[in-house]
Amino acid sequence: MECWSIGVAPFSQYSIIPETGSGVFMHEMSIAQSLLDIIKEEMEKHDAKILRAVRLNVGQMTAVVPQALSFCFEVITNGTELEGARLFMDIVPLKGYCPECDVEFTIEDYTFMCPSCGGSKIETIGGQDLSIVEIEVD
């Protein structure tokens, strides 16, 4: 068994900014497809045959429903050589930064407001994208 990591920061090309889709699971379906493309490419590079597990960091802002993404991933891998792989997801909370106060904070309930000065000129610094953290293969 082999396990390798795709770091989030140095591999920012693997960051997937989801497009807003319409319809049930369209959002998750397009993400699952993008993930699969990246995973296949990585597996080819490493000459890996069997996909065991994939670990993801899912930013809160992506509005991805983990159960829906799992379901979609299962559907598109069904009947392929990647069938049976497990998808693990860690939700990354939304983080903000206020340049006025030089303070970082967790954004709750999508309230984009600085907790110390009440200002709305904040920058989102985390929880915006979805990245592959680790892929486990045989």
Q: Find the DSSP H helices in the chain.
A: 26-45, 66-77
Q: CB-based burial of residue 72 (10 Å sphere; 0-12 exposed, 13-18 middle, 19+ buried)?
A: buried
Residues with Cβ within 8 Å of 14's Cβ and at least 6 positions away in sequence, in order, are 6, 8, 38, 131, 132
Nearer to Zn ion (CB atom), residue 111 or residue 116? 116
Instruction: Count residues binding Zn ion (CB under 5 A).
Output: 7
Q: Phi and psi for 32 in degrees, rounded to 5?
A: -60, -40
Smallest separation (angstroms) from Zn ion to the CB of 71: 40
125: contact with Zn ion by CB under 5 A: no
Nearer to Zn ion (CB atom), residue 71 or residue 97? 97
Q: CA 34 to CA 30: how far, in whole Å?
A: 6
Among 2, 117, 121, 123, binds Zn ion (CB under 5 A): 117
The contact pattern for Zn ion, residues 79-98, with x = CB under 5 A and - = no contact, is -------------------x
119: contact with Zn ion by CB under 5 A: yes
**Contact range with Zn ion by CB under 5 A, out of 21-29, 80-88, 110-118, 130-138:** 110-118
Among 82, 114, 130, 135, binds Zn ion (CB under 5 A): 114
Q: CA 81 to CA 33: how far, in whole Å?
A: 15
Angle formed by the axes of helices 66-77 and 26-45, nearest 10°: 60
101: contact with Zn ion by CB under 5 A: yes
* Residues forming the site for Zn ion (CB under 5 A): 98, 100-101, 114, 116-117, 119
